[in-house]
Amino acid sequence: MAKKGKKSKNSKAIEILESEVKPLLELKYGAPLFSMAAHPSKPIIVSGLANGYVFMTEYDPILLSEYAEEQKEKIEEKFKNLKESEQEKKKKAKFWKVEEISKDQELSNVSVKHIWKTKRHKGSVRSICFNADGDEVYTIGSDNVIKKADTQTGKVLKKAEIKDNNSAFTKILKSVTHPILVLGDESGNVRVFDSNTLEQKNFIPGVHEDAINSIIQLTYKSAYQFMSVGSTTLSVWDVRKEKATSTSENQEDEMLSVTFVDPTKGDTVLCGMGEGIATVWKKSKNDWSDQLSRVKIAKDESIDTMISTLNNDDCVWAGASNGTIYKINAKRGQIVETRVHSLADEVSFLDLDSEYRLISAGMDKLKIWNSDRDEDDSEEEGDENLDSSDGSDSEADGDAGSGSEDEFAGFSEDNESSDPEKEEDQWEDEGSANEEEGEETEDPAEQENVEPEEKSGDEEEQEESEPEVQPKKKKQKLSNKQMNNMQKHEHGIRRFDDL
């Protein structure tokens, strides 16, 4: 009886913390959603499904907000004479736009439309990501084929088949600063590719004992260092090395997700665990060897995905298997807000759009949440930044880690203060394009390699349909806020048999 009462008490506490913020848009999928990513500078969502289809969807936040306000007024009018006991009907009414996404259904209206859609992979789309400026999108399928495509047209620019891999891939991540593409698989291995040529550069076996569930880049420290979680450990690895540089102690609980509290400083990360807690880790305290503290989130639920709010508030968003999104203040070790994504589906993915709107997704639907402009800033009063006390130590570690390591073939030395143009040219001796500046390669051989891949005969026609493309819009100049958001935010992923 006591246990039941405690559960009831916790449920009431969560209800009190539930946010008044509602979704701006809801997308419902006709096939299971296996991967998604938000464009770093535009209101665009890319989603990959279990049937191999990829959808590039654009939305207009202003029009969606106007629509929601109009619908809300209509609902208020409709239910204004309801008795107090019947007000629950009003609470459940959806006033935001809801759209169906399927391979057979067109989506083209003023507020939401497909830029393109296509059958991209045989089998499922296992993971998906944008490059730093959002001009290109990378996908990896259960067919073990990597494809790089143009974001606006959907045209495949380059592809590569990984023939010697016996495990399905779980994660793909593009470096925000260098032409580096990393892939993690279900056996805990990491593969490193040149993002321009899609040529494999390195293989790091056994980073984890089981599937790699989440990867983030340690950009504050080195362009070549990454962190991942999988099985029951957290690992740090360098794309130029042949093994992980450090691995944490066994946590005796599956580690499913990881995110920085403040990516610009990188001293503190939170990890989502299989038993419903978030663990806090600090580089300056014990060099990522073990958790320092834990935050109870949802007992007997898994924390499948996490992402920083990027709001300088010491907070991260966490998505749980019970369909609830939790906002956690890492400094206080408390839940400060909740949102209900679904009562029947898990929260498998979280991201932020270019204006910091929260995006949540499960297997059947995706929600873009309205901006919380009226959020109370009192949480920040009197609080020092979570990383401030150890900032100097963290910077010293970053400097010490670069320059003394052996150079990996194909990479330049890890000198963070070197000329950016020289860094971008680090793989050009192997036929790479200058991707970070968006320049096309002038190597005739490279030009010849791209076209045939798009028109490679019957096999390509069967594998992938021609993307249906909307007219291309003029490229928008990026604001400082959008530039700050040009970093990859990774999501949790579960394994699916034979998909």
Long-range contacts of 159-167 (CB under 8 A, 24+ apart): 159/198, 159/453, 160/193, 160/198, 160/199, 160/200, 162/191, 162/200, 165/191
Residue pLDDT, tens place only, 132-160: 999 999 999 999 999 999 999 999 999 99
HSE-up of 71 (CA within 13 Å, CB side)?
17
Handedness of CA 55, 256, 248, 298 (dihedral sign): positive
Residue pLDDT, tens place only, 331-357: 999 999 999 999 999 999 999 999 999
Residue pLDDT, tens place only, 369-397: 998 653 444 344 444 445 544 443 333 34
231: left (phi over 0), alpha (psi -120 to 50) or beta: left
Q: Determine the pLDDT at residue 370.
A: 94
Model confidence at 14, in pLDDT bands (50, 70, 90)?
A: low
For the chain, the straight-line distance linking the first and the last C-alpha, in angstroms and rounded, comes to 43
Q: What's the mean pLDDT when you consider all of the chain?
A: 80
Contact indicator for 199, 432 with CB cutoff of 8 Å: no
- Report whether pLDDT(6) > 50: no
How many CB atoms are closer than 10 A to CB 105?
Answer: 11
Q: Which structure tokens are listed for 490?
A: 């990774």
**Hey, what amino acid is at 475?**
K
Q: What pTM was computed for the model?
A: 0.77
- Report whether pLDDT(441) > 50: no
Q: Determine the pLDDT at residue 435.
A: 36
Q: Which of 29-33, 86-90, 210-214, 459-463 has the lowest mean pLDDT?
A: 459-463
Model confidence at 202, in pLDDT bands (50, 70, 90)?
A: very high
Contact indicator for 246, 235 with CB cutoff of 8 Å: yes
Residue pLDDT, tens place only, 320-329: 999 999 999 9
Per CATH, the homologous superfamily of domain 2-373+384-484 is YVTN repeat-like/Quinoprotein amine dehydrogenase (2.130.10.10)
- Report whether pLDDT(63) > 50: yes
